[in-house]
């Protein structure tokens, strides 16, 4: 049974982040209108969260592919230790799609089905909070629902002492400590991937 190369997947995700960072760095020179730049920042944030979600799912399924012991114990079935990767995905998506959600939910789901030594365990609290905030920004950009709006206000803006609704693009473009907030969020995603990579055996 072929095992998923999780370390390679980590490197691929880091390369995706490098490409998004490069596009971010080129915005100021290539896009003159601030409104257009704000829109571009929003799209880059959406791309970054999409890349993170795909990465997290791949690591989750790949971990079960490499060792299904925790899954077998959770569902009460005798399973081969190494399951085919498509089967690992099918087990969680036959009735819809897998939504791993924020980092806390991701860790909880991985602990349940991958085991206590799951590769997400080393993601630090500050990194988790930053990733969760970027997910909240993305959800408000994409959905714009009352729930997404409230989460964006409470989880993202209020911790920055921003009481009025600020458009996501404007928020992401604003600079703190000499860099944009989007750049800081991209660094948080890198830290999360680095923690996963560090937890993986060669």
Query: 11 pLDDT exceeds 90?
Result: yes
pLDDT in tens, 27-45: 877 878 888 999 999 999 9
Residues 41 and 27: their CA atoms lie apart, in Å, by 8
pLDDT value at position 21? 95
Residues 176 and 160: their CA atoms lie apart, in Å, by 11
Angle between helices 34-66 and 181-199 (to 10 degrees): 10
Mean pLDDT over each residue of the chain, to the nearest integer:
92
pLDDT value at position 14? 97
pLDDT in tens, 66-109: 988 998 888 888 888 888 888 888 888 877 777 888 999 999 99
Residue 24's φ and ψ, nearest 5 degrees, are -60, -45
pLDDT value at position 102? 94
The residue-averaged pLDDT of 111-138 equals 96
Extract the tokens encoding 170.
Answer: 């404007």
Three-state DSSP state, 59? helix
Residues 96 and 104: their CA atoms lie apart, in Å, by 21
pTM for this model (two decimals):
0.93
pLDDT value at position 202? 67
The residue-averaged pLDDT of 142-168 equals 95
The residue-averaged pLDDT of 132-150 equals 96
Torsion angle, alpha carbons of 39, 37, 157, 53, to 10: 60
Contacts 24+ apart (CB under 8 A), 46-50: 46/138, 46/141, 46/142, 47/20, 48/17, 48/20, 48/134, 48/138, 48/182, 48/185, 48/186, 48/189, 49/134, 49/135, 49/138, 50/138
Query: 17 pLDDT exceeds 60?
Result: yes
Three-state DSSP state, 180? strand
The residue-averaged pLDDT of 156-179 equals 94
pLDDT value at position 93? 83
Extract the tokens encoding 156.
Answer: 């993202």
Residue 134, Cα to own-chain centre: how many angstroms?
Answer: 9
Query: 151 pLDDT exceeds 60?
Result: yes
pLDDT value at position 122? 96
Residues 196 and 202: their CA atoms lie apart, in Å, by 12
pLDDT band at 1 (very low <50, low <70, confident <90, very high): low
Residues 151 and 102: their CA atoms lie apart, in Å, by 12
């Amino acid at each position: 049974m072929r095992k998923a190369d999780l370390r390679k997947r980590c490197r691929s995700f880091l390369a995706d982040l490098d490409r998004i960072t490069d596009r971010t760095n080129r915005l100021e020179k290539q896009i003159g209108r601030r409104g257009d730049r704000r829109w571009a920042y929003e799209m880059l944030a959406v791309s970054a969260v999409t890349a993170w979600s795909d990465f997290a799912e791949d690591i989750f399924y790949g971990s079960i592919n490499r060792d299904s012991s925790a899954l077998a114990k959770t569902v009460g079935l005798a399973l081969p230790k190494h399951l085919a990767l498509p089967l690992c995905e099918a087990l969680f998506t036959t009735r819809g799609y897998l939504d791993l959600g924020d980092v806390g939910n991701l860790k909880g789901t991985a602990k349940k089905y991958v085991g206590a030594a799951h590769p997400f365990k080393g993601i630090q609290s500050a990194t988790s909070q930053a990733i969760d905030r970027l997910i909240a920004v993305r959800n408000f950009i994409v959905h714009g629902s009352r729930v997404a709006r409230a989460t964006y206000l409470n989880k993202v803006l209020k911790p920055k002492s921003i009481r009025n609704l600020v458009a996501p693009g404007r928020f992401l473009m604003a600079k703190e400590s000499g860099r944009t907030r989007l750049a800081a969020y991209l660094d948080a995603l890198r830290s999360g991937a680095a923690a996963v990579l560090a937890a993986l055996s060669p």
